[in-house]
Homo-oligomer: A and B are copies of this chain.
């Protein structure tokens, strides 16, 4: 590994000039600039990032906060992979790398030790104090699926309420008047917002909400199954169910089928997320699709904007949702 000193000597210039060639090429004369670039590739010079970070306090790395043990180990984000791919790609375009933060150490410590430029927070619904510490410390941060703002914190989320309303309006159009909902854990923003959208759309249609017809669940398949059992046992059985996540919706479908009900004739079901399975499980799950690629690119855009200017905080991004009608409704 050649160092800046070696390259400087090789080109018979000072290290300052070499440094400038890599950092502000425009301020050095075209000839020497080119000569240094050529020599750099010739002798295989690469600027050492640790040294740069030490000198500049900027690491060109952003931390990824992604709490993995909090929920049950098998927890699967509906589209974590897409988020990572799009985030990584979009950040790369700005020379930023993603560092996955360990949970064995407070995130804020890791941010400081590594001079991270910012963080992306994938929420898991926990009110993690380590995450709050990050926001309080005014680290540039963008949260996903977590409506948190601060002087240096913005967020990107789906239009959860709007998506839920889409689902409900669709059911209303199909003639349903007794519509129930299986919610996610209401401490999580997406679950709470989808419930809000559900309520708002029913109010809009002037339909009452039976207290028995809202069951809080956990976003998982078995949870949806259990919740559906409760709905089927309600005094007034709903004719349609909006499950705020596809896994729960599929669990609910299973419960309905086990109870001898036909889908959608006896009970219609609509989910949320549009996971791969939704298209595959007969008769096809009607669901609300999120903009999977949007999360990563919007998060990267917001973060880069914050890093480039501390002047104005980027506005939160609310990604549109779309209804996908399949056989279950």
Which residues of A come within 8 Å of B, CB atoms? 1, 46-51, 53-54, 59, 61, 64, 68-69, 73-74, 76-77, 80-82, 84-85, 88-89, 91-93, 97-104, 109-110, 112-115, 221, 250, 276-277, 280-282
Contact = CB atoms under 8 A, between A and B. Distances in A.
Instruction: Please list the 10 inter-chain residue pairs (A to B) with the smallest Cβ-Cβ separation, ordered nearest first.
Output: A92-B102, A50-B53, A98-B100, A50-B54, A68-B85, A50-B50, A49-B113, A92-B104, A46-B113, A49-B114
Nearest to A105: B92
17 contacts: A49-B115, A50-B59, A50-B114, A51-B54, A54-B54, A68-B88, A73-B85, A74-B82, A80-B80, A84-B100, A88-B102, A91-B102, A250-B280, A276-B277, A280-B281, A281-B281, A282-B282
B54 A109 contact: no
A98 B84 CA distance: 13
Nearest to A282: B282
Contacts of A282: 282
A113 to B, nearest CB: 5
A228 to B, nearest CB: 15
A59 B54 CA distance: 13
A84 B74 CA distance: 12
A247 to B, nearest CB: 9
B61 A112 contact: no
Contacts of A280: 221, 250, 277, 281
Nearest to A56: B50
Contact of A54 (B48, B93, B99, B103): B48
A63 to B, nearest CB: 9
Nearest to A59: B50
Nearest to A247: B276
A46 B277 CA distance: 46
Contacts of A89: 68-69, 103
A85 B75 CA distance: 10
A56 B232 CA distance: 65
Most chain B CB within a 10 A radius of its CB, from A77, A88, A281 = A88
A97 B97 CA distance: 13
Most chain B CB within a 10 A radius of its CB, from A81, A99, A101, A110 = A81
Nearest to A116: B49
A278 to B, nearest CB: 11
A210 to B, nearest CB: 30
